[in-house]
Structure 1
Amino acid sequence: MIAKLPQRFIEQTKQMLGEEFNDFLESYSFPIYQGIRINTNKVEIEHWNEIAPFGNLEQIPWCLEGFYYNEQTPSKHPYYYAGLYYIQEPSAMSPVAYLPIEKGDKVLDLCAAPGGKTTQIGSKLENTGVLVSNDISATRAKALVKNIELFGFKNTIVTSEAPEKLSNSWKGYFDKILVDAPCSGEGMFKKDSTAIKSWEKYEENHFFDTQLSLLNSAEKMLKTGGYILYSTCTFNKIENENIINIFLSENPNFEIVPLNPIGGIKELNGTLRLWPHCIKGEGHFLCLMHKKYGENFESNLIQVKNKIKDFKLLADFISKNTYISLDEYIFMNDDKFYLINPNMPNHDKLRTLRTGLLLGTIQHNKFKPSHALAIAYQSHMFKNIINFSNNDINVIKYLKGETLEGDYKKGEYIVCVDNFPLGWIKSNNGNLKNQYPASWRKIN
C-alpha cells in the first residue's frame, strides 16, 4: 500500500510529521477499524450493552455511544433495520462529538449526505430543537432522508440547495453549524483506493474556494454566540489550518475555541488532528469557532396553524392506532401530512425533500400511514404490536417482504423485534399483509 501512495502526498505529509512520518506510513499496514454508533434516541447505552449481538465491543474514546466492532455483517442484523445503530468510520464520529450541542438547539449540518453526522446530531438533540440537514446533491440527499427516517427523527428539515441560497433565507437562525467540508480525502486512502485516483486528478488547492465559501455561508446563518465546527477527512494544511486562518482574518468576530484531545488525538493551536498512527481510525481535522459578536436577525419561522385533530381521516387513524397527541402541529404538502416543530425556519423558496416527520398520505379517501411513522416512536406508543425475538425466522421473513401467518383481529399492527418497531403489517380476514417498503427490504 505504501508504494501506491502519491509522491506529492508523501512529501507533504513527511514535512508535517517529521520523525513521526515512519509511524504514519506503518499505519497503512494496520487493519481498517470499523465502528457502529448507537442511536440513543431508541436505546440507552446500558440497555444496548445488555442486548448487543456482536459480543464485547470496545468503546471509541471520543464518542461515548460509538464502538469498534469485529462482526463483518452488522448491516444484516434486524437491529440495523430497527434503526438502533449507524455504521460509521470511527474518526468520522469526532466532529459531532466535539460540537457542543444542547437540547433545544437549532443545528445545521451543511454538507450532510449520506447522514452519518446528521444522525449523530439528531441523537444529541433527542428530538428537541430543530435540525436542518442539507446536501447540494439531490441524489445524495435521498439517502439522507432514509437515514433520518431510520433513526426516527421528528424535528428535521432536509434541503438540497447551494449554501449561498440557504444563507440568504436563514440569516442568524442557527445556534450550531457543522461544516464537514468536501475535501481531497487523504484520510480515506487506506480504505478506498479510488480516493487516491481522485486525489491525483486535483491541484493542491482544488477544494479551497469551496471550503472557504461554505464557511462564509455558515457565518451568515449563525447566531451571535453560536459555534461552527469545521472538519475535513484530509491531512494537508491548505484545506485545514490555511482555510481557518483566512476565514478568521476576514471575520475578526470569530475565535478558535480550544478543544481537548482524547484517546491519542493530537492538538495544535486549539485545533485537533486525528492521525491514523495515533488512533484507531482513518483521520480527521477539527476546528471549533465561536461567533463573539455580530448583527442580530429576527427569524422567519414556518407558518403553521393546523394540528392533527383538524383533519378527520388523519385524527381517526392516529387515535385508533397510536397514543400520539392530536394536538401535535402538522404541515401539509399536497396530500401528505408532516408532524413538525413550529420553531422550524420558513423554507418556502428552498428545494426541500422533507419537513418534519412524514405521518402518511390520503389515498382514495383513506389515510395510509408512512413507514417513517412506524419507526419514529417506541413500541409503547402504538396500540397494536406483533413482537418477535431477533432470532425468530418471522423477523427475516417480514424484512424480506414475505407473507406472515397469524390469527389477529382486523386492523393495523406494528411489527417489532425485541420491542423495537420495524414497520407496519395489516390484518384482514385472517391474512397478514406485509407493509414493509420494497426499497427497504432485506435482500439476503
Structure 2
Amino acid sequence: MNLPKIYLDKMKELLKDEYDEFMNSYNDGKIQGLRVNTLKISVEEFLKINPFKLTKVPWCETGFYYEENERPAKHAYYHAGLYYIQEPSAMLPAEVLHVESGDRVLDLCAAPGGKTTQIGAKLKGEGILITNDIKHSRTKALLKNVELCGIKNAIVINGVIEDLNRSCRHFFNKVLIDAPCSGEGMFRKDPSMVKSWERTPTSEYSNIQKDILSQVDEVMSGDSRLVYSTCTFSPDENEEIIHGFLEENIDYDTVEIPKDNGLMDGLSEFAHGDKRVEKCIRLWPHKLKGEGHFVAVLKKDSDELSKIKNKDKKHKPLESFSKFVEDNLNCQIHGEFREINENLYIVPDNMPNLAGIRVVRSGWLLGKYKKNRFEPSQAFAMGLTWKDAKRVVNFSSDDPNVIKYLKGETINVESEKGWTLVCVDNYPLGWAKQMGNTLKNYYPAPWRWM
C-alpha cells in the first residue's frame, strides 16, 4: 500500500520494535466476520444450518470469521436477518458494554448499525434502545439493519447530543460512543480511507470527540457504564481523549477488561503517564485477526437518578388492525400502541418525550392505515416467526423462488387466499398476498436483491 510518510513516521514512534511486524500485516488479506443474530436464531441452531466455513471470534460469543471467498451478503439467510456482517474488531465495544435485558441504552454514533444490532440482540426485546446518527442520509442504512434484525424496542433518531440532554437527562444506564475518527484501522480494508486521512487532520476529529464526551454526562444515570471506541490508532483520538475526560469528570473511572486473545493495554505514555488509560483496550492487526480498534470502558458512580417519565395511558389500535390480526395471525400483538401519521407502532416502555428531535422510527412499525384497511410493514414481518402467521409459504434456501421473491418478482404458487408470510427455511423474509395461483410480492423496493 502507498501509505503517507507522516503516517509511517507516527506509527514508528508508536510501535517502536513492533513496527515491522505491524507493517507486514498490510500484506495479509482483509479480515472478515459475521455475527449471529440471536433475536432470530441461537448460535447452536445457526451452526447446524450454516453454509459457510466459520471460525470463532474469541472476544465475541456470537462472532465468527469467514473465508475471503465466501459471500454471506448474497445468501438468503442474510436477508432473513440471521446474521450481520461485521468486521471482527468492531464486535468488541458492544460486548464490553455488558448490556442486559431491560437496560436503557443509547448508541450515539450508530450508522450503519453493526453495534446497534448487537445491542438489540442483547436486550432480548426488553428495555429501550435509542440509536442515533447525526447524518440523516446514514440513518437509512441504520433503520434497515434495525428492521432486518427484527429489533422491536429501538427508537431511531437523527439529532445531536444537545437535543438528548434536554429530553433524556440522566436517563441511560448504558451508552456507546463509536466516535467519528481518522479511520487508520480501515486502511487495509478500504484503501480509499488513506485519501480521507490526508485531507483531514486528526485534530479535527479529536475536537469532535471531545465535544461529544463533554456532553454525554448529562444523559447518563448515576450508576451507569460508558464505552468509547474508535477504529484508529492515533493516541490523540484515543488515550489522550480518555485522559482529558477523566480529568474533567471525577465521577468516572476506567474499568479493567481482561487482556487475552491478543487484546493489549492502552498506552499511558501518550496520555501524560495516566495509568488509568492502561485499562483501555487496543486491538492491533499484527497481534490478532482484526483490522484494529481502541476501546475504553468507563464506569460512572454518582447519586444522580434516572429520569423515567410516567407512562402514558394505553392506546388501542384501530379496528382494522385487530381485524388483520384475527384474519392473518395465530398470535396476539401486545404493547403500547401509538398511531403517528397513519402509521401504527408499538413503542418501548418508558419511552422518553422526544419532542424537538427528528425521530426516524418510533419503535416497532406494524404497518399503515389506508382508508378502512390495514397494510402490514416489512418491519412487522421481520419481528414475527413463521408460527405466528396463518398462511406461510416456505422455500428452502436453494429454491430459485427465494431470489425471485427478493428481487420483487411475482411468484406462481398455490395457497390459501390472503396475506402470507414468505419464509426461507422457516425464517421470515417478508409479506406477499396470495391471489389465486399468484403470490403478489410486497417485498420493499429499497431492500430488493440487486
Give 1:278's aligned residue.
287
Give 1:287's aligned residue.
296
2:57 aligned to which of 57, 60, 67: 60
Give 1:90's aligned residue.
88
1:133-189 per-residue CA deviation (whole Å, 9 max, x = no partner) reads 000101101110000000001100000001122122111100100000000001011
Q: Is the 8 A contact 1:172 1:224 kept in 2?
A: yes
Q: How does 1:120-131 map to 2 (within 5 A)?
A: 120-131=118-129
CA distance 1:342–1:400, shift in 2 (3 Å): same
Query: Aligned pair 1:407/2:414, yes or no?
Result: yes
Give 2:346's aligned residue.
339
1:398 aligned to which of 389, 393, 405: 405
Q: How does 1:426-437 map to 2 (within 5 A)?
A: 426-437=433-444
Query: Aligned pair 1:170/2:168, yes or no?
Result: yes
2:261 aligned to which of 260, 263, 272: 263
Deviation, 1:336, is: 0.3
Letter in 2 for 1:212: K
Q: Is the 8 A contact 1:89 1:281 kept in 2?
A: yes
1:82-124 per-residue CA deviation (whole Å, 9 max, x = no partner) reads 0111111111111111111111101000000010110011011
Deviation, 1:208, is: 1.4
Distance 1:301 1:81 in 2: 38
Q: How does 1:21-40 map to 2 (within 5 A)?
A: 21-40=19-38
1:331-384 per-residue CA deviation (whole Å, 9 max, x = no partner) reads 110110001222222112210000111100011321000011111122112221
Q: Is the 8 A contact 1:319 1:326 kept in 2?
A: no
Distance 2:370 2:185 in 1: 48
TM-score by length of 1: 0.96
Q: How does 1:340-419 map to 2 (within 5 A)?
A: 340-419=347-426
Q: Is the 8 A contact 2:128 2:349 kept in 1?
A: no
Deviation, 1:301, is: 5.5
Q: Is the 8 A contact 2:172 2:306 kept in 1?
A: no
Give 1:190's aligned residue.
188
Letter in 1 for 2:102: G
CA distance 1:302–1:285, shift in 2 (3 Å): farther
- Please give the root-mean-square deviation of Cα atoms over the aligned residues, in Å: 1.3
Letter in 2 for 1:129: G
Specify the SS of the correspondent of 2:192: helix
Deviation, 1:262, is: 3.0
Distance 2:231 2:334 in 1: 44
CA distance 1:6–1:426, shift in 2 (3 Å): same
Distance 2:37 2:310 in 1: 29
CA distance 1:290–1:272, shift in 2 (3 Å): same
Q: Is the 8 A contact 1:301 1:346 kept in 2?
A: no
Letter in 2 for 1:149: E
CA distance 1:89–1:327, shift in 2 (3 Å): closer
Distance 1:180 1:7 in 2: 27
TM-score by length of 2: 0.95
Query: Aligned pair 1:19/2:17, yes or no?
Result: yes
CA distance 1:322–1:283, shift in 2 (3 Å): same
What 5-or-longer segments of structure 1 have no aligned partner? Answer: none
Q: How does 1:102-113 map to 2 (within 5 A)?
A: 102-113=100-111
Distance 1:235 1:13 in 2: 8
Query: Aligned pair 1:330/2:337, yes or no?
Result: yes
Distance 1:243 1:273 in 2: 14
Distance 2:333 2:408 in 1: 31
Identity %: 45
Farther-moved stretch of structure 1 (298-307 vs 257-266)? 298-307
Q: Is the 8 A contact 1:36 1:67 kept in 2?
A: yes
Letter in 2 for 1:36: L
Q: Is the 8 A contact 2:382 2:428 kept in 1?
A: yes
Deviation, 1:129, is: 0.7
Deviation, 1:219, is: 1.4
Distance 1:155 1:222 in 2: 19
Alignment: residue pair count? 438
Distance 1:368 1:398 in 2: 19
Distance 2:385 2:211 in 1: 41
Q: Is the 8 A contact 1:301 1:342 kept in 2?
A: no
What 5-or-longer segments of structure 2 have no aligned partner? Answer: 267-277
Deviation, 1:23, is: 0.5
Q: Is the 8 A contact 1:307 1:328 kept in 2?
A: no
Farther-moved stretch of structure 1 (177-186 vs 4-13)? 4-13
Specify the SS of the correspondent of 1:198: helix
Farther-moved stretch of structure 1 (121-130 vs 258-267)? 258-267
Q: Is the 8 A contact 1:257 1:290 kept in 2?
A: yes
Deviation, 1:31, is: 1.1
Letter in 1 for 2:328: N
Deviation, 1:297, is: 4.5
Specify the SS of the correspondent of 2:411: coil
Give 2:215's aligned residue.
217
1:14-56 per-residue CA deviation (whole Å, 9 max, x = no partner) reads 112111111001111011111111101101001111000113x
Distance 1:119 1:204 in 2: 29
Distance 1:241 1:235 in 2: 10
1:182-238 per-residue CA deviation (whole Å, 9 max, x = no partner) reads 000010111112211111112231111210121122211111110000000000111
Letter in 2 for 1:370: S
Specify the SS of the correspondent of 2:432: strand
Distance 1:438 1:313 in 2: 25
Q: Is the 8 A contact 2:419 2:431 kept in 1?
A: yes
Give 2:272's aligned residue.
none
Distance 2:86 2:186 in 1: 13
